[in-house]
Structure formats: C-alpha cells, structure tokens
Amino acid sequence: MVKVGVMAAILMLSGCSWMPPFERPQLPVPAQWPQSLQLAGEHSLAGLTWQQLLPDARLQAMVTAALAYNRDLRIAVARVAEARALYGVVDADRLPTINLSMAHSAVQTPGDLSATRYKTISRRHDVNVGITSFELDFWGRVKSLSAAAQASYLATEEAHQAFRLSLMADVATAYLTLQEMEERLALAEATVATRQQSRFLVQQRRDAGLAGDLDFLAADGAYESARADKSSLERSRAQAEHALNLLVGTETRNLPAGRSLGDQHIITDMAVEAPSTVLLSRPDVRAAEQKLIAANANIGAARAAFLPRINISLAFGMASRTFSGLFDEGSGAWSFTPNLLLPLFDSGRTQANVDLAEARQVMAVAEYEKTIQQAFREVADLLVLRDKLAEQLKAQEAVEKAQRERLRLVDTRYKVGVSSYLEVLDAQRDSFTAQQGTLQLRRALLVTAAQLYKALGGDA
C-alpha cells in the first residue's frame, strides 16, 4: 500500500501554474488593405499548390531539386530535428525515470575499530528498481519549461516552412531571370547579325557612290555597340545561371524543355483576403507567435523558482549479505527519501531570472508585431507592383509594336533614298530597346507573382 500511495503521488503532476495566460497581441496594422490595391482575382490561394502556380515543367524540376539538395534547407531541416530532440529531453522531466540497479559492496573494518577487536568483512548485494531525484511539479515549473521547449520546436518548424516557401520563390525568380537573359541574348545576337548585314550594305552603297563615309561610320558604330551589348548580356546570363545552380544545390541533367517568358502562364491574378487572414497564415508570423508563447512559458518557470521544490528518491528491491540469498524470504528492502528545497537567500538571482524572462517576453512581443508589420508592407508592396507592372507591360508591348512598325517604314524609305541612315539607326536602336524593355517587364511581372504567392503564405 505504501508503494501504491507513493506512485499515485508521483503521477499527480498537474498542479497550479505560475505561467501567465497567453493572449495573442492585436494586429498592429490596419484591418483592411489600402483601397487603391486590386484585391480581387480569379484564383484563390486556398488549395493552390506551387505546381499549379508554376506550370513550366523545367521550372518545376528545378524547384523539386532545390527542395532536395539546397544546403541551407538541409540546415533548416536539421535545426527542426535538433529542436524536436531538445523538446523531448525537457519534456521527459515531467515523468519519473525508472532504473534497475544491481550493486555489490564489501567493507573491511580493522580490529581497532571492531567491537570484537578482530577485523571484519561485511558484504552486501542489492537489486533495486527505483526513481532517483524526481521533482514533483506542484507549481508547474517543469511543465512551463516543457511548454517553452515545445513552442521553440514549433517555432523552428515554422521557420523551416518559411524558408522552404522562400526557397521556391527564389528558385522561380532565378529561373525567370535566367530565361530573360537568354531571350535578351538571343535578341542581341539577332541584332548583331542584322547590323552586320546593314554595315555590309552601307559599305556597298558607299562603294557605289550612293552613301558617304558618315553613313558607313554610323553603321559600323551601331554594329560594334550591338556586339558590346551582346557581351554584357552573356556575362549577365552566366551570373544568372550560377545563381540558379547555387539555389538548386546539385547538377541538373535531362531536364524537360522550358517555356519562354511569354508562355509561362504563371498565375498572377490571385485573390487576396483580409490582413487578419493573410498575415496570420504566414509561417514566419506563426514562428514569431511560437517564440512569444515560449517566452511566456519561461516566465512561469522563473516565477515558480520562488516556491519550494520537492524531489523524491524511491527504491524497492532485494538486499542480502550473499548473492544466493537475494531472493530468500525476508530479503525485501525499500527506501523513500523526500527532499524539500526552499530558497531563502540567493542575492536576488531568482528575481533577476524573472526580470530576464519578462524582458525577453517584451522583446518577443515587439518581434511579433514587427514581423506582422513587415509582412503587411511586403504584401501591400507586391500588390501595387503586380497592378502597375501589368499596366506598364501592356503599354510597353504597344510601344514595341509601334517601334517595330516604325523601323520597317524607315528602312523602306532609306532604301529608296527618302530617309537618311541616321533615321534607320535611331529606329533600330529604339526598336531594340523596346523589345528589351518588354522582356524585362514580363519577367518582373512573373517574378512578382511568385513572390506574392510566398508573401501570402501559400503552400505552407
């Protein structure tokens, strides 16, 4: 009965808690997005996977490889495992640890110290099952520490999800940037070939007396300028490829064919819900909230340190002078050692720990609110960027069409001797610039869609 009563007392671990009740801070941002933003869209974020967002098979293969091989993501996954293990270590303190111990001791007492004046040798064999120094958590100190460890683990898990989502968006950004560089490089190569042919034609016209040296020098300068642009784009393309390879983290082979920027069909018209729904679903915000929960729990553990701490040691088993007599009748033995520790004077250390925990809780609240505010700004900026880039792209495509038609007309007029070659060069330069600008804006709009998907907490 004594054993049953002691074990029942051990298992009564739920006592009062000194942990302050957790209350999620109010959102330190407006309840609605700015009225100037376009929030409606044909596609809802709910259930929208990143594969649906990014239909390019080559890009999907790049993202899949990055999720498997990116080294920073591996570190994030390992940190989650580390936090989960630490939580397991702390949480294990809430239950007693039961050990089986076997011991043998032999003590020789000299004759001078023996009552019989002869030296004696005493032996003892013990087999015990017991609990050593287990804290009865009446005040919730251990429970608070366990809650803090669990929240820290969950915060690390959310941080991993945030990094995973960010990695997908970054791979999409790098891939689209590389695609832009390749298309701009192809345009530059075509321009070099065109201007080389123009220079040759101008040279023939000069030899025939139909053009002067000024026309030839202008054609030659335009050709060399196109070559310089081509070399610059080759450098930018190589750098974009290196950036993408670093994110992917492995060599990619036998990838499916990719799509041009104009054929990506990335979803750009995602509908956006209210800030209270969008922001609280982001993994980085959830991670900040878990850190706040951990800081709140640590206050409870620090406050409980003011109260008495009760530890017990319990063992029951067999004891005998000889090994063979361990299991004889009457060899049973048990021990029960309660220990009460009450702090009386520690030079203010316990109070300082409470102050420290409360200060860290204030910092955690500020970090949480800052994360919310940064998330609000990020989403708002991307919504503005999405709307204005769409408008700008439409205008730029019209500019490109007009400049292409202008070039055709000026070239025709030059061939019949109506326009000067300087007009042709101006038209060529403006057409090339317009085409390059269209590619840049098209890439920017697609990148904005990928970044907005991340900012809205998609696939997390």
- Dihedral sign for Cα atoms in the order 58, 60, 61, 66: positive
**Reduced to 3 states, what is the DSSP secondary structure of residue 334?**
strand
Residue 338: the pLDDT is 86
Distance of CA 256 to the CA centre of its chain: 28
CA angle 226, 232, 236 (to 5 degrees): 140
Give 116's DSSP letter: T
Q: What is the DSSP letter of 43?
A: B
Inter-residue contact 434 to 406 (CB < 8 Å): no
The residues pairing with 180 across neighbouring beta strands, listed in sequence order, are none
94 contact partners, CB below 8 Å, separation of at least 6:
13, 137, 142, 143, 146
Residue 121 host element (H or E): strand 120-136
**Token pair recorded at residue 37:** 């933003």
Who contacts 315 (Cβ-Cβ below 8 Å, separation ≥6)?
A: 101, 128, 129, 130, 131, 334, 335
Phi, psi dihedral angles at 251 (to 5 degrees): -75, 130
Strand order in the sheet with 332-341: 98-109, 120-136, 309-320, 332-341
Alpha-helical (H) ranges within 249-348 are: 275-278, 283-304
C-alpha closest to that of 150 among 188, 105, 94: 94
Rounded CA Rg of the chain: 38
CA dihedral 296, 301, 306, 309 (to 10 degrees): 160
The strand pairing partners of 338, in sequence order, are: 312
The letter for the amino acid at 155 is A
Determine the pLDDT at residue 10: 42
Single-letter amino acid, residue 200 = F
What is the pLDDT, as a whole number, of residue 284? 94
> What is the distance between the alpha carbons of residues 275 and 31, in angstroms, rounded to a whole number?
6
pTM of the shown model? 0.83
Nearest to 97 by CA among 144, 147, 142: 142
Closest alpha carbon to 94 in 157, 22, 149: 149
Helix (H, G, I), strand (E, B) or coil at 140: coil
Nearest to 432 by CA among 194, 220, 244: 194
Q: Which pLDDT value is given to residue 16?
A: 60
Q: Where on the phi/psi map is residue 329: left (φ > 0), alpha (ψ -120 to 50), or beta?
A: beta
Which residue stretches of 272-420 are H helix? 275-278, 283-304, 349-415
| Residue 29 backbone dihedrals phi, psi, to 5 degrees | -140, 165
The four Cα atoms 80, 83, 88, 90 give a dihedral, to 10 degrees, of -170
pLDDT in tens, the chain (460 residues): 444 444 444 444 445 667 888 888 999 999 898 887 778 878 888 888 999 999 999 999 999 999 999 999 999 999 999 999 988 988 888 888 888 888 888 888 887 777 777 788 888 888 888 888 888 888 888 888 899 999 999 999 999 999 999 999 999 999 999 999 999 999 999 989 988 888 888 888 787 777 777 878 888 888 898 899 999 999 999 999 999 999 999 888 888 999 999 999 999 888 888 998 889 999 999 999 999 999 999 999 898 888 888 888 888 888 877 777 777 777 778 888 888 888 888 888 889 989 999 999 999 999 999 999 999 999 999 999 999 999 999 999 999 999 999 999 998 888 887 887 788 888 888 999 999 999 999 999 999 999 999 999 987 6
For the CA atoms of 211, 217, 223, 228, what is the dihedral angle to 10 degrees? -170
User: What structural domains does the chain harbor?
Assistant: 13-95+137-307+349-455 (1.20.1600.10)
